[in-house]
Structure 1
């Protein structure tokens, strides 16, 4: 019976991924209905905490975007990227990584990708090199971010055995090392533009050549009045969350034994609650002090992306959690001995599921509890946490498609055989090295 139920889960994920957008969440609900009414499985708890974190963080980021803060950050990043065009393959991914780490979402990098493509093209560096590793780096930024839904889910699942600072102390340095190896893997990827026959053929068209060297990524519009202030408020909010994670005694302590959604059994405020509270408060302060409106926030692209993410995670995680809960004893019996003997093998399960789910938070919420149930040490689970970044494997994730669109030379591509796309090599190298190095840092810091 478990095989049939697993087939239903895989079918829902595959069909939902092909539908794109909210399709993954909707198909998850279809599968959940099949589990409930046909297989009579008891529904697991829906991922309310992850959904609320995404809503809170995206609302704050979208408010900053509406106030012009995103434009300000992009201009600063653009100056850095254009100042050293010969190092775009290195500076591009480091910039997108920091953006995603700061905002807790890879969708914030859409404004950077055209700049990276433009700088690469003008320097006649193959854009595929910088764009491919930059997209992968932005994904690794999610599992390094103190305010991402994936990190918050990881904290909740570990149940206080590892602090927020503990997770960051492993994932941030390990990810940077992984990204540097990824940069090395693409440094000479493909032919140089001046030797690429496809590019040289396109350059015979005068209109194409003229359009290629235009300043498409540079915005001359004046910044909104509250742009810089909105970035400052958002930055202070992120800092506050990190401080609370490092010094939990800063938060009020309540009577033990009265657990609810916001307070754990020991009377401590849950980290998910802190993120939600601080982020929404930051959004309120941006609205008050940065001269923007709630209507502008609702129209922001980040707000739309967040809504899609919430629907997707709602359906697919609830479906997966129900399947795991109903078949936990069978899964433990099948995988338990192997995983206990070689804990690192669990990273392959995380990576494989993330390929199908297209979400770090959804994969973490769905599969990390199994790692805990199998008795894997919390330090090892933290080391394997970045392996949930397998969403580059199938070229359907929005950031991958955006990078392909922004590359006017056509060097960034999907490939004839689907899997031989531009992001495969830097993705496999970066994520693999990050996990390997993560074990080293977890042994040192945890």
Structure 2
């Protein structure tokens, strides 16, 4: 019976991934219905706290975008890239990493990818090198951002172990950043030089090279600048409230002193900052929900709602069998759990959904929380199959055709830097976990 249920869960994940968007969430609902009504598994509680946290964060991020704050950040990034064009393979991933770290979503990379492609081409650097690692860095930073959906999901799961947000960040930020820089070094050696690439030279002779266009001069408004300040204040407040429990108010409940939970703190801070941006920066309110950032976040909420609820129900309903079969194996070789996280993320296309689906199993198996944090970057596996939006966007923005999908599909430009960054971050994280926690 277990294996039949397992096949159904995988089938729903596979079909949902193929449908794309909210398809992953609704197929999770289909799988949940089969598990409950056919196999009579008791449904677990839906991940409401995680969903509300994500919704609050993307509301603030969407308001930032509508206020012009995202455009202002892109302007700052472009200045940094053009100042040091020959070092773009290292500067580009730093830019996308910092963008994602502050915004909590890797989709902010869309706006800076065209700049990376143009600057690298103009400076004679093979665009594949900075483009590939820039996309990977934008994914890795998700697991280092204090306000990303994946991080808040992990924090919610580890709260009972007295793990705070600072504990997670002290491991995830240095591990992912260092791993990305190692991957950037490897990327800087990828492929032939641009002026030696036969495909580029052939297309150049055929007149298919891009024509340089005059760019409009960007002028940041006071509202755009102030929206960035407000959003950064929100990120700092989240880190402080998550790291120092005493800053959160508390009350006597049934004779026990209880402090406000971190999910509530994040929701209150983000909704308040979004309101302040609407009042003082005066964005078009309708454009907030129609922007790319809000749409991506809302899609993540639906995906987590269905797929994580189905995963929780399946694992809890078969916990005795799963624990008895693999607990000793995973405890002896915890890196196997990192591989499981990586494999599931390839199917789910969502770090947050992967965390909410599989991390409870790691907790149930008795894996130490410090190791779970160290293995957190393993959920960044959705570069493996080159059809994720940021990957596709990078390929299309590179008009030299050096960033591409290979003949065998998996031999694409993002594979090597992606594997190095992901498993390098896990290895570094494991080392840091012995020092930090």
Normalised to the residue count of structure 1, the TM-score between the two structures is 0.95
Which residue does 1:364 correspond to in 2?
355
Which residue does 1:407 correspond to in 2?
398
Secondary structure of the equivalent of 2:209?
Answer: helix
Name stretches of at least 5 consecutive residues in structure 2 with no aligned partner: none
Alignment CA distance shift 1:433-1:210 (3 Å): closer
Give runs of aligned pairs for residues 155-234 of structure 1, distance below 5 A.
155-158=155-158, 159-206=160-207, 208-211=208-211, 213-214=212-213, 218-234=215-231
Which residue does 2:75 correspond to in 1?
75
8 Å Cα contact 1:13-1:356 kept in structure 2: yes
8 Å Cα contact 2:170-2:436 kept in structure 1: yes
8 Å Cα contact 1:67-1:224 kept in structure 2: no
**1:44 Cα shift?**
1.6
Is 1:348 equivalent to 2:343 in the alignment? no
Q: 2:234 aligns with which of 237, 258, 282?
A: 237
Which residue does 1:261 correspond to in 2?
none
Q: Deviations over 1:246-272 (max 9, x none)?
A: 2211111122459xxxxxx86121111
Which residue does 2:90 correspond to in 1?
90
Which residue does 2:102 correspond to in 1?
102
**1:117 Cα shift?**
0.9
**1:161 Cα shift?**
2.4
The separation in 2 between residues aligned to 1:391 and 1:345, in whole angstroms, is: 18
8 Å Cα contact 2:194-2:200 kept in structure 1: yes
Which residue does 1:377 correspond to in 2?
368
The separation in 1 between residues aligned to 2:11 and 2:403, in whole angstroms, is: 30
**1:401 Cα shift?**
1.1
8 Å Cα contact 1:142-1:150 kept in structure 2: yes
Which residue does 2:143 correspond to in 1?
143
The separation in 2 between residues aligned to 1:155 and 1:426, in whole angstroms, is: 27
8 Å Cα contact 2:161-2:369 kept in structure 1: no
The separation in 2 between residues aligned to 1:232 and 1:80, in whole angstroms, is: 19
The separation in 2 between residues aligned to 1:444 and 1:219, in whole angstroms, is: 50
The separation in 1 between residues aligned to 2:157 and 2:249, in whole angstroms, is: 22
Alignment CA distance shift 1:266-1:405 (3 Å): farther
The separation in 2 between residues aligned to 1:410 and 1:154, in whole angstroms, is: 38
The separation in 1 between residues aligned to 2:217 and 2:290, in whole angstroms, is: 22
**1:134 Cα shift?**
0.8
Q: 1:252 aligns with which of 246, 249, 252?
A: 249
Q: Deviations over 1:370-389 (max 9, x none)?
A: 11111111111111111111
The separation in 2 between residues aligned to 1:361 and 1:276, in whole angstroms, is: 17
Which residue does 1:114 correspond to in 2?
114
The separation in 2 between residues aligned to 1:19 and 1:427, in whole angstroms, is: 24
Give runs of aligned pairs for residues 297-312 of structure 1, distance below 5 A.
297-312=288-303
Secondary structure of the equivalent of 2:259?
Answer: coil
Secondary structure of the equivalent of 2:258?
Answer: coil
**1:221 Cα shift?**
4.4
Which residue does 1:285 correspond to in 2?
276
8 Å Cα contact 1:344-1:380 kept in structure 2: no
The separation in 1 between residues aligned to 2:129 and 2:392, in whole angstroms, is: 15
Name stretches of at least 5 consecutive residues in structure 1 with no aligned partner: 259-264
The separation in 1 between residues aligned to 2:167 and 2:319, in whole angstroms, is: 28
Secondary structure of the equivalent of 2:307?
Answer: helix
User: What RMSD, in angstroms, separates the aligned Cα atoms of the two structures?
Assistant: 1.5
**1:355 Cα shift?**
1.1
Is 1:335 equivalent to 2:326 in the alignment? yes
